[in-house]
Amino acid sequence: MANVTFGEPRFKKPEVVVKKTGEIKDIIMFVAGTTDPINITAHKHDANAGYWRDSQKNFWAKVKELKPQYLDLHIEDTFFSWSGDNNTSERNLAADRLLDLFTRVYPGFKNKEIHLHLIGHSHGGNVINQFTELITTDKRFPQLWEIKSITYLSTPFFEKKHQLNHAKLHKKCKIINVHNEYDITQQFVADFSLINLEILIKKLNKGDFDKSLERIKETDFKPFEIIGDSGYWGKINETQGHDLWRNTAILLDGVGMLMNAIIKYINSIETNKFKSEKAKFVGLFDRIHTWSVNAKTTIIRNQTVRSGGYNRDAYFDDLNLLGILTLINELLSIKTGMSDSYLLGVLETLFNENTGITESIEETSWTPKKQTKGLSIADLIITGNDKYTSRKKRANFDKFLSGMQAAQKNKNTKEILMRLFSQFITADQIQVIMDKINKLEYVVSGAKDVELKLLRETNLKIYQDLVKKYNVDLVAKTDLNIEMAKRPGSVPYLATVSHSLSHTEYWLKVDEELKLAFSSGKNTGYKPK
């Protein structure tokens, strides 16, 4: 017993000595990102097979064609999945899930020499970067595994977060970077990392909004034309009155439904930092809802028979025109410019760092150059493949992007919001509204006239001047009738379609660079089909 040391086993299991044999296996792994900047479907683990397969040119299928060309190339097709949410914690969790997937799918490769080839779109590239940090210390990552290539597709590269760690990179690791210069998600939107965005999107019940807008569309607006006709002297016959009151009731019903949907959604934003502003904002929309309910009740009561008959003044009284004008002016209140805009002020609080739903704001870049430490980068610019290129709007786009980036650099959230809003409406469209209000001013008097003048001459006029200043005419006139999300040059198009282009087509240069990175050897017997 003299040779026995208590507290330790009599016989120790010999450690497994892992040695390189020269037989290398290549594994390709896809890491999805943000199909759009806010993961609009809001489904956990929605970034799956369809992300790579559903495009017309099927990125995954093209990569799959590489498999028989090499002796030991494995292409992971169970598809790594994560929420795709635009926030730091989700990307960190995703890196851990990625390591877990490798260990579960390839347990037999633990002691073999493996070269990983990681392909990430959007924030999938930042998940990969976080993965390189994780595997430097996590013992689950096998000793003989190295990262031989990383393909970044439209990845926004942070200055501080999600930095590329070189400890487990092969000394000849190949960096491939694909980007589209029209992609505003990579160049700007991704600067904002948001808190619990998946929950916020889930709580945005699109059905509630769709129902209210459909109800509003049921309104026949032709009977309303008589109201602004100054030559009509306010007289409305019974038939005209019935049509006007009936359609007003439909419109008010839709407005009430819309206000309910807005209130419900604002209340779903559960952040204490936005509490007081939220209460005031909800209170305003609640008063508009109350107005719509009360006005609808009166209008319905009088739509068949009205004591005193139908005329313009009676309509304004039943509608409580003064009440709604006061509320609209409160919502659109703006005395001199963006600094005193009520609406921009509320939205600024909602989106500012540390006061609302924004976790952090950090400038991003389209290139990984600052992180690669001398590793060569194969850059591929795909701007010419974006259909927006044919619209000849590059100068307009550059003006928009530079303005947004300057506002972001100056941390001017109100200007960012105003610049974005100005791409959805034109000064001419606001002028049409102002002209209709001007007509109405001829047929009202007293307090109503005061409120209409405030709305037209101050609130709408100042917003019109701002739109005139910031609207850069991004969309070609021939595209104006195309659905917003698919309209080349629209903000939704630039944030989603332009951002997704890099992973919906398999690029020749990516193919060439990946082939140079593979280590398992070419299959000399391969014959193309």
CATH of residue 57: 3.40.50
Give alpha helix (H) positions in 106-187.
Answer: 124-134, 184-187
pLDDT at 203 over 70: no
- Domain containing 164 equals 25-192+501-517
* CA angle 338–340–344, rounded 5-degree value: 55
According to the model, what pLDDT value does residue 40 have? 38
306-320: pLDDT as tens digits: 988 899 999 999 999
Average pLDDT over residues 74-86: 72
Residue 424 lies in a domain: no
Say which residue, 34 or 459, is predicted with more confidence: 459
Considering the chain, what percentage of its residues have pLDDT values greater than 90?
A: 58
Q: Which of 20, 30, 23 is nearest to 514 (CA)?
A: 30
Measured between alpha carbons, how far is 409 from 501 in angstroms, rounded to an integer?
A: 27
According to the model, what pLDDT value does residue 495 have? 86
Measured between alpha carbons, how far is 87 from 97 in angstroms, rounded to an integer?
A: 16
| 242, 259: one domain | yes
Which among 298, 319, 340 is the end of a domain?
319
pLDDT at 224 over 60: yes
Measured between alpha carbons, how far is 226 from 239 in angstroms, rounded to an integer?
A: 12
Measured between alpha carbons, how far is 79 from 69 in angstroms, rounded to an integer?
A: 22
| 182, 214: one domain | no
pLDDT category, 4, cuts 50, 70, 90?
Answer: very low
According to the model, what pLDDT value does residue 132 have? 97
| 30, 173: one domain | yes
pLDDT category, 155, cuts 50, 70, 90?
Answer: very high
234-269: pLDDT as tens digits: 678 899 999 999 999 999 999 999 999 999 888 877
On whether the CB atoms of residues 427 and 464 are closer than 8 A, the answer is yes
Say which residue, 90 or 184, is predicted with more confidence: 184
pLDDT category, 365, cuts 50, 70, 90?
Answer: confident
| 185, 230: one domain | no
Say which residue, 78 or 275, is predicted with more confidence: 275
According to the model, what pLDDT value does residue 220 have? 96
pLDDT category, 8, cuts 50, 70, 90?
Answer: low
| 31, 172: one domain | yes
Q: How many residues does the chain have?
A: 529
| 136, 98: one domain | yes
Which among 319, 335, 366 is the end of a domain?
319
| 203, 153: one domain | no
pLDDT at 478 over 50: yes
| 160, 60: one domain | yes
Q: Which of 514, 508, 512, 502 is nearest to 385 (CA)?
A: 502
According to the model, what pLDDT value does residue 47 have? 47
Rg of the Cα trace of the chain? 30
According to the model, what pLDDT value does residue 451 have? 97
According to the model, what pLDDT value does residue 393 have? 97
376-428: pLDDT as tens digits: 999 999 999 999 999 999 999 999 999 998 998 888 989 999 999 999 999 99
Say which residue, 469 or 197, is predicted with more confidence: 469
pLDDT category, 73, cuts 50, 70, 90?
Answer: very high
Arithmetic mean of pLDDT over the chain: 86
Residue 186 lies in a domain: yes
Least confident of 137-146, 201-210, 319-328: 201-210
pTM to 2 decimal places: 0.84
Which among 319, 335, 367 is the end of a domain?
319
| 114, 51: one domain | yes
Residue 268 lies in a domain: yes
